[in-house]
Structure 1
């Protein structure tokens, strides 16, 4: 249905046609963006599932080793062994633009490159299960960081997909049909006005001819 506020003029018709072209182009671009976001989103969801399974498996192994270590060691010895860590980890956060979505990227650095620095204790009075637990956590840490990055990326992309979907629907079901209806309405009004003008001109011509030559046209 055409808007009642539309002024049926050729200038308005030209303006609406240009607006329709822009809206149609924007609709296509937004659809392409939505489809590409969905593709990348599904890829990250699959990657997230695989990483989560790995992380849960690694944490489960680490917890099992900690329980075994606690069972075979005195609490005081265990607490003392874990009291002063030698290694230190720093996490660096960045941003990556994916289809206008700023998704986070995480990277980490250790204070020293020596992998043995993850063990902050001597091996004489500690259980090998404690070594396994510490090693399991060290091994799974990169995957945990990557999992956090992907899960946050999935959340941000899901929000952007929903926003893009709403915009596509608004253009497809509201704006473009309304513009088309308004263009049709103005075109019909202009054609009607043109026909009315022609009829009036013909009547004027008849009157002029009648006055000039004293006869009527048929």
Structure 2
């Protein structure tokens, strides 16, 4: 590791020791941050995997019900039913701070009585139970899908921050701190050498006197 290009003076030695102390504290704080980010990231990944399984299971049931309903109903009725949504959803996206990482926090709300299948705009004559189940599954899975999107985006942002923090930790650990330590050692050796030379000269002058 190449030492820094500085003058070997006591003032420079003091400055370098202060920089080393600051770099060491910064390294510890960043390492602690990296460890905590990793802990939370692993927890979120587990939640993401569990929730994804639940969402995929509900969507699979919804698609199975829809396939059955579609096989028993006229195609024109299905197209007309799907053309205009009967319910509206309000979505608000806020932000929260996790270890200096700003991640999304999503809130959504159906309009009133959206959970009631009676409000769906189709009659019983042209529908069947499978179609009712399809909409029920889709209504139930919506909150989980939104939560899954929030968790996946949070994981992505945290992974980016973990990588940035890792690079900064490595830069301090393997470059900045070793350079400072080597330069401090070099200056200390130079100062000690100059001090020994000065003492030797003083002893020679004393002997000559």
TM-score by length of 1: 0.91
Q: What are the Cα deviations for residues 55-75 of structure 1, in whole angstroms up to 9, with x where unaligned?
A: 100110111111111100001
Pick 1 or 2: higher relative contact order, CA cutoff 8 A, min separation 6: 2
CA contact (8 A) 2:4 2:179 kept: no
Q: CA RMSD in A?
A: 1.4
Counterpart position of 1:60: 60
Displacement of 1:3: 2.2
- Name the SS for the 1:82 alignment partner: helix
Is the 1:78–1:126 Cα contact (8 Å) retained in structure 2? Answer: no
Map 1:1-218 to 2 at 5 A. Answer: 1=1, 3=3, 5-116=5-116, 119-207=120-208, 209=209
Kindly indicate whether the alpha-carbon contact (under 8 Å) linking 1:97 and 1:103 is maintained by their aligned counterparts in 2: yes
**Contact 1:65–1:133 (8 Å) recurs in 2:** yes
Distance (whole Å) between structure 2 residues aligned to residue 112 and residue 121 of structure 1: 18
Residue 212 of structure 1 corresponds to none
Note the C-alpha offset of 1:167. Answer: 1.0
Instruction: Tell me the SS of whatever aligns to 2:107.
Output: strand
> Per-residue deviation at 1:123?
2.0
Query: For 1:126, what is the secondary structure of its paired residue?
Result: coil
How many residues get paired? 208
Cα deviation, residue 114, structure 1 = 4.5
Q: 3-state SS of the aligned residue for 1:115? A: coil
| Aligned 8 A contact 1:82 1:120 in 2 | no
Query: Is the contact between residue 9 and residue 191 of structure 2 (CA under 8 Å) also seen in structure 1?
Result: yes
Quote the Cα distance in structure 1 between the aligned partners of 2:182 and 2:4.
11
Shift of 1:6: 2.0
Q: CA deviation at 1:81?
A: 2.6
Per-residue deviation at 1:4? Answer: 5.9
Q: Give 5+ residue unaligned stretches, structure 1.
A: 210-218
> Which structure has the bigger radius of gyration?
1
Q: Distance in 1 between matches of 2:196 and 2:144?
A: 75
